[in-house]
Amino acid sequence: MSGTVVVSENGQGRYQQDVVAGQHRLLADEPASMGGGDAGPAPFDYLMAGLGACTSMTLRMYAERKELPLRRVSVELAHHKVDIDGVSRDCIERRITLDGELSPEQRQRLLEIANKCPVHRALSQSFVLNCALAG
């Protein structure tokens, strides 16, 4: 399971953030079109990266367990807004490329498994988000 992530302004740009996830140090920023310095991925880019990584890892684990001839997984994601019944909603398009000598049935099963990755499940449901001020 994931640990704690700490995000804080670093003073290097208008919106630039230091992101610390365990031993990993990342940078987040808004693109110039949003007033940032584009020094790192934007928040939705990180969200999509998490979904893409979880999808690929889940497929790799499943393929190894089932001894499927999956050579490589690639996941391309894009975020945009859609109008559903007059309400603007966020939409993530996910395109999965599976390289390997897989039958149509194996490919279909891998798509089903992709939709069961933990991040996909979390994003597909309503989150419980608890927020409080520290100190």
- Residue matched to tokens 């490329």: 97
- Residue matched to tokens 């007059």: 86
Which pTM value belongs to this model?
Answer: 0.92
Q: Kindly report the backbone phi and psi dihedral angles of residue 36, in degrees, each rounded to the nearest multiple of 5, phi listed first.
A: -95, -175
Three-state secondary structure call for residue 79? strand
Q: So what's the pLDDT on residue 61?
A: 98
Alpha-carbon gap, residue 36 to 73, rounded angstroms: 32
Q: pLDDT tens digits for 73-129?
A: 999 999 999 999 999 999 999 999 999 999 999 999 999 999 999 999 999 997 888
pLDDT averaged over the chain?
A: 95
**What residue ranges do the domains of the chain occupy?**
5-34, 43-124
Q: So what's the pLDDT on residue 127?
A: 83
* Percent share of the chain, pLDDT over 90: 94
Q: Provide the pLDDT confidence category of residue 68 given band limits of 50, 70 and 90.
A: very high
| Correct CATH for 43-124 of 1.20.120.80, 3.90.550.10, 3.30.300.20, 3.40.50.920 | 3.30.300.20
Inter-CA distances, 106 with 46, 69, 88, Å: 29, 10, 36
